[in-house]
């Protein structure tokens, strides 16, 4: 077989990769960790039991209990609104100028829920099972079951808020199937589901702001966590308009700050997405779980030039009718595709995976596209010496079904493509390339969504969500809203039942320390008379991550990446150039803080990837694949959550393993045959 993905694979080799720890020397083994909050009993009953057992704060006392919510996307917005309704005193923070602009707004496809409105055999159990399997058996059973259970309430809640989901002529809600599952359980609002859900949560939040239970701080970025006597008690935020560092103290802190896909520089994430909120918490004692689990989406619009700032996703549904190919001969790469004869085209997915063809799962489609381009057979403009793109050709479908049929199915996607690329996809084949899209890793949390720092809760994409090693389409929105509307408000009260906690002053040494460290960082950037812009470092870091910790990871590559990152990080601290002052808007300064944290995260991601010498879900280790290039999991050795503890500046991180125990489902190989 000419599949280049196999080149590095040699499972029969005497020094079988599974025998030794690639990451030895990069980390320190620590004690195992386990979730202690999920109650006993059958998985179906756990959530009811937990809700009943979790103590309640007397309504009369709630006014005295204060909550800090960092992030007002789907997860944070919905949680803040619900906690405000309950009567707590809530403060919300977000870096955008309004909560309505959180990155959740960009989600297109839809949101899953086990409503079984189609009567096609869906159920909580089936959604649970699909999610576990989709996550390649690397998620925690109890959490996932609960997610499936509350999914139905989400739809009720959103409809009552006025979210305009798509409807059928009879006036009832419409569903579609999504992401290769066998039932239609995805609710959607055209291609803008995330927007409509977020606006629903945002409006609920603004309602509480109007009612005075929630105070909103927009354009405020969290730059440090305040931990007093082992409990999370507040945050240091920078007012991005005045530049002032503010201290906000409370009884509990919730982080719902989204994902960190921007460590790759180019991704489908919004420009401001960052790891700072969670990373600062990590440095204060919150464990970071499975940081290397990244989802790469195969159908994005390729990079057009060296100045590209972000990538745009196009719905995966395009692969239903489009055929993917590259020229057989690298010399044809810059030819007009319409002039390349049928015989000179390589429909590589159809060739390599005759049974699945163009519909192979996301990770395989992505990886093969990369291989083609690495071989020099990529198409489209040359960016830094390589053409990164493959054709997604609709000419056959247009001939077979007629242009109007294609227009009605994909019209808006074709228009978007045309607007961005300036090419007409009805005439010339589209070009696509994979891009980083979502991170499954995040802060470790227990069943209550509490991190390893008491009083620090984490919701949404920011926690090491319920998606294991791979997320199914339309499940992130579900998880964000499940966490925010239904889970967190019910679990946090158990913690708050012991509050109000002792009042702390801004002069408390722990507060002063947090504030001063934030100040010192800012001052360093402003006074460092370097020569290179923040963006240029970010771009270079992103290239390293993409190259070595992207679609395919190998031992050598990851080790090389760690070295490169460390060198670049040193250079960044010595040589970065941030102009302007700290007492007003300074976007370079904001970026510098974020990129500084991305360096540390990037290194940990590589170490995590190095440790996990198996392929599972979005994590593909070149050393661990079957003969035909499919991911090879090693349940005997890696059926654990890797929870990393920060050990201090320049110290090796400590790895705590949480064993994944499956009672309700049996582990099985994820197969596409």
Of the pair 23, 155, the CB lying nearest ligand FAD is at 155
Q: Can residue 119 be called a binding residue for another protein (CB under 8 A)?
A: no
Please tell me the count of residues contacting ligand FAD according to CB under 6 A.
45
Distance of closest approach, residue 70 Cβ to ligand FAD, in angstroms:
5
- Residue 196 binds which one of ligand FAD, another protein, none, with CB within 5 to 8 A depending on kind? another protein
Q: Are the C-beta atoms of residues 493 and 564 closer than 8 Å to each other? A: no
Taking contact as CB under 8 A, which single stretch among the options 10-18, 160-168, 567-575, 594-602 is the one that binds another protein?
Answer: 160-168
What pairing do the DSSP bridges indicate for beta strands 252-255 and 66-70? parallel
Rounded to an integer, what distance in angstroms lies between the CA atom of residue 659 and that of residue 642? 9
Q: Can residue 186 be called a binding residue for another protein (CB under 8 A)?
A: no
Which CB contacts under 8 angstroms, 24+ apart, belong to 330-335? 330/375, 330/376, 330/377, 333/376, 333/377, 333/378, 333/379, 333/387, 334/379, 334/387
Distance of closest approach, residue 294 Cβ to another protein, in angstroms:
19
Q: Can residue 489 be called a binding residue for another protein (CB under 8 A)?
A: yes
Q: Are the C-beta atoms of residues 458 and 256 closer than 8 Å to each other? A: yes
What burial letters (b/e) apply to 594-633, b meaning 16+ CB within 10 Å? bbbbbbbbbbbbbbbbbbbbbbbbbbbbbbbbeeebbbbb
Strand, coil or helix: 486: helix
The catalytically annotated residue of 50, 362, 367, 431 is: 362
- Residue 485 binds which one of another protein, ligand FAD, none, with CB within 5 to 8 A depending on kind? another protein
Q: Are the C-beta atoms of residues 633 and 614 closer than 8 Å to each other? A: yes
- Burial bucket for residue 143 (CB in 10 Å: 0-12, 13-18, 19+): buried
Other C-beta atoms lying within 10 Å of the C-beta of residue 76? 32
> In DSSP terms, which residues pair with 313 in a beta bridge?
300
Of the pair 58, 98, the CB lying nearest another protein is at 98
Q: Can residue 383 be called a binding residue for another protein (CB under 8 A)?
A: no
Selected binder of another protein within 46, 50, 62, 115 (CB under 8 A): 115
Q: Can residue 24 be called a binding residue for another protein (CB under 8 A)?
A: no
Q: Can residue 7 be called a binding residue for another protein (CB under 8 A)?
A: no
Distance of closest approach, residue 99 Cβ to ligand FAD, in angstroms:
6
Distance of closest approach, residue 221 Cβ to another protein, in angstroms:
13
Q: Can residue 250 be called a binding residue for ligand FAD (CB under 6 A)?
A: no
Residue 515 a catalytic site member? no
Taking contact as CB under 6 A, which single stretch among the options 270-278, 412-420, 531-539, 663-671 is the one that binds ligand FAD?
Answer: 270-278
Find the binding residues for another protein in span 204-233 (CB under 8 A): 204, 206-207, 209-210, 212, 215-220
Distance of closest approach, residue 275 Cβ to ligand FAD, in angstroms:
8
Of the pair 104, 196, the CB lying nearest ligand FAD is at 104
Find the binding residues for another protein in span 268-297 (CB under 8 A): 268, 270-272
Q: Can residue 176 be called a binding residue for another protein (CB under 8 A)?
A: no
Find the binding residues for ligand FAD in span 155-194 (CB under 6 A): 193-194
Which CB contacts under 8 angstroms, 24+ apart, belong to 571-574? 571/532, 571/537, 572/537, 572/596, 572/599, 573/524, 573/528, 574/528, 574/530
Rounded to an integer, what distance in angstroms lies between the CA atom of residue 362 and that of residue 546? 17
Rounded to an integer, what distance in angstroms lies between the CA atom of residue 369 and that of residue 432? 9
Q: Are the C-beta atoms of residues 125 and 42 closer than 8 Å to each other? A: no
Residues lying near ligand FAD in the complex (CB under 6 A) are found at 70-76, 93-96, 102-104, 106-111, 193-194, 221-222, 256-259, 268-269, 274, 276-277, 313, 437-438, 460-462, 473-477, 480
Would you name the residues annotated as active-site residues?
Answer: 362
């Amino acid at each position: 077989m000419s599949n280049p993905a196999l080149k590095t694979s040699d499972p029969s080799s005497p020094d079988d990769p599974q025998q030794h720890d690639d990451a030895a020397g990069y980390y320190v083994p620590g004690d195992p960790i386990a979730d202690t909050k999920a109650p006993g009993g059958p998985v179906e009953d756990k959530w009811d039991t937990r809700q009943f057992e979790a103590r309640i704060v007397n309504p009369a006392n709630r006014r005295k209990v204060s909550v800090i919510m960092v992030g007002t996307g789907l997860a944070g917005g919905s949680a803040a609104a619900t906690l405000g309704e309950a009567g707590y005193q809530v403060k919300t923070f977000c870096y955008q100028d309004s909560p309505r602009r959180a990155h959740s707004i960009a989600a297109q496809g839809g949101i899953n829920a086990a409503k079984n409105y189609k009567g096609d055999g869906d159920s909580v159990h089936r959604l649970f099972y699909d999610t576990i399997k989709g996550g390649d058996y690397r998620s925690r059973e109890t959490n996932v079951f609960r997610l499936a259970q509350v999914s139905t309430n989400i739809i009720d809640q959103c409809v009552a808020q006025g979210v305009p989901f798509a409807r059928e002529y009879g006036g009832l809600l419409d569903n579609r199937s999504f992401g290769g599952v066998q039932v239609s359980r995805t609710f959607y609002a055209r291609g803008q589901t995330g927007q409509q859900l977020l606006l629903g949560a945002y409006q609920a939040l603004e309602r509480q702001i109007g009612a005075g239970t929630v105070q909103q701080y927009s354009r405020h970025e969290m730059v440090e966590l305040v931990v007093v006597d082992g409990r999370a008690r507040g945050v240091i935020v920078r007012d991005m308009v005045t530049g002032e560092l503010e201290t906000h103290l409370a009884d509990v802190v919730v982080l719902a700050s989204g994902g960190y896909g921007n460590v790759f520089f180019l991704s489908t994430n919004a420009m401001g997405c960052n790891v700072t909120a969670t990373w600062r918490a990590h440095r204060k004692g919150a464990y970071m779980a499975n940081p290397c689990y990244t989802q790469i989406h195969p159908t994005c619009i390729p990079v057009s030039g060296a100045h590209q700032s972000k990538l745009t996703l196009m719905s995966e549904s395009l692969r239903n009718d489009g055929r993917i190919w590259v020229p057989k001969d690298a010399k044809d790469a810059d030819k007009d595709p319409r002039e390349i004869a049928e015989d000179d085209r390589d429909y590589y997915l159809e060739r390599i995976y005759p049974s699945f063809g163009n519909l192979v799962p996301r990770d395989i489609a992505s990886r093969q596209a990369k291989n083609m381009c690495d071989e020099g057979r990529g198409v489209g403009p040359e960016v830094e010496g390589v053409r990164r793109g493959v054709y997604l050709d609709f000419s056959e479908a247009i001939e077979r079904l007629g242009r109007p049929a294609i227009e009605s199915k994909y019209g808006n996607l074709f228009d978007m493509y045309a607007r961005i690329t300036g090419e007409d996809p009805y005439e010339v084949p589209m070009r696509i390339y994979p891009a980083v899209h979502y991170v499954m890793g995040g802060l470790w949390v227990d069943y209550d969504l509490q991190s390893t720092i008491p009083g620090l809760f984490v919701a949404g994409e920011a926690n090491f969500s319920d998606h294991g090693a791979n997320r199914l389409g339309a499940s992130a929105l579900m998880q964000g809203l499940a966490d925010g509307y239904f889970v967190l408000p019910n679990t946090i009260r158990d913690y708050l039942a012991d509050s109000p906690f002792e009042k702390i002053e801004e002069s408390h040494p722990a507060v002063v320390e947090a504030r001063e460290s934030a100040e010192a960082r800012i001052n360093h950037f402003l006074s460092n008379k370097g020569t290179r812009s923040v963006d240029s470092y970010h771009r270079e870091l992103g290239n390293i991550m993409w190259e070595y910790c992207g679609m395919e990871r190998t031992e050598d590559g990851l080790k090389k990446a760690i070295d490169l990152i460390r060198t670049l990080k040193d250079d960044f601290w010595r040589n970065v150039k941030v102009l302007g002052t700290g007492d007003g808007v300074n976007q370079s300064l904001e970026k510098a803080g974020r990129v500084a944290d991305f360096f540390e995260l990037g290194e940990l991601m590589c170490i995590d990837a190095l440790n996990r010498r198996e392929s599972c879900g979005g994590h593909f280790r070149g050393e661990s694949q079957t003969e035909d290039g499919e991911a090879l999991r090693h349940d005997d050795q890696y059926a654990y959550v890797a929870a990393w503890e920060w050990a201090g500046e320049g110290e090796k991180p400590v790895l705590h393993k949480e064993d994944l125990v499956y009672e309700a489902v049996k582990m099985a190989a994820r197969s596409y045959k």
